[in-house]
Amino acid sequence: MPHGKTSFVCLPCRASYKQPYDRDRQRICPRCAQPLIHVGSAFAAPRRRDTAAWRTLSVLLHAGVRFHKSCCGGPGYRPRTVREVRERMTYAQRCGEPFARSLIRYAVPFSPPRGRDGRT
């Protein structure tokens, strides 16, 4: 039985392609001839003109976050805006949590803003 198709992305072209997955084969973008990034079968590509969504996607992919299906459904929470990414980056820096793990966190615990002297 053949395997289902999975998504591959070209970040410079802002293009997504569904192709059969083969671990040994490197995929090449038909537009720019750059290597494609395997993102998983539960990926939904943003519109090509949505630069903020592609910027957010780029941060997720460079951090190692992918969109694979789990046993219960989709890939789980993924930030959709640059603001959500910044919140999780700040949380990761303050708490020492790995960046990739903080990106897939559904809610970031609130921490009050600090003044220059370190007190609230």
Tens of pLDDT, residue by residue over 34-82, are 999 999 888 899 999 999 999 999 999 999 888 887 666 666 778 888 8
Hey, what long-range contacts does 23-26 have (CB within 8 A, 24 or more apart)?
none
Residues 90 and 102: their CA atoms lie apart, in Å, by 9
**pLDDT band, residue 1 (cuts 50/70/90):** very low
Question: What three-state secondary structure class fits 28?
Answer: strand
- Least confident residue range of 6-20, 27-41, 59-73, 91-105: 59-73
**Taking the complete model, does pTM exceed 0.95, yes or no?**
no
